[in-house]
Amino acid sequence: MTILVVDDEALLVKGIRFNLKSDGYDVITGSNGQEAVDLAKSENPDLIVLDVMMPVMDGLTACSRIREFSNVPIILLTAKVDDMDKLMGFDHGADDYLTKPFNILELKARIRALLRRSGAAEKQEPNKLTGGNITLDLDARNAYKGKELVVLTAKEFDVIEFLMRNANRVYSREALLDTIWAYEYRSDIRTVDVHIRRLREKLEENPAEPQHILTKWGVGYYFRK
């Protein structure tokens, strides 16, 4: 499954590429609208993530050009929030629209939804994650401890989903802040510890001796299946 990511913000592209590759996607990247058109022709990606404001050729024009030869799903990224801007994006052929700054997990959820809708994801990852007695229903965003439905906040679900998708990989508090909260709470690293504690209380059989949501002392947190 190949995803084309085109944005002139190099750090943003790097972050998206890292997160998508960790989910098993092949990722190709570009930095302007003309590259988006050229790569869409030469690489035939399964989905395109395309910024609106770019040099050489803007994303809306690139979207229109791509629509001349391809029905590939396209997600537009933009810093604008006006409804008219969204309508313009759809008029140019976009399938979805995400406003910056955004949560990387929301982007990945939209990618999965578009791939399923387009029929390109026959072998796409399952819609459930399971580790020990913990199960996540990704479509309904429900969490279960055994057969018991557990109520999680949106951010709690984001944290446990990310850790379960990347089981046995240790993430520092800073890395979790960057991935889950993006620009939020950047100065308050303790919010990660609070969410981990709450997840253990809700999902572990014995929160005092967790079996799955674990700490690597001096490094960060990880999920063990």
Where the chain has pLDDT below 70, the residues are: 80-87, 120-126, 182-187
The closest alpha carbon to 49, from 11, 24, 91, 12, belongs to 12
Query: pLDDT tens digits, residue range 82-124?
Result: 655 666 778 888 899 898 888 888 899 999 989 888 776 544 4
pLDDT at 90 (0 to 100): 80
User: For residue 37, what is the enclosing H or E element?
Assistant: helix 33-43
User: For residue 163, what is the enclosing H or E element?
Assistant: helix 154-165
Domains in the chain (CATH in brackets) are 2-118 (3.40.50.2300), 128-223 (1.10.10.10)
pLDDT at 185 (0 to 100): 45
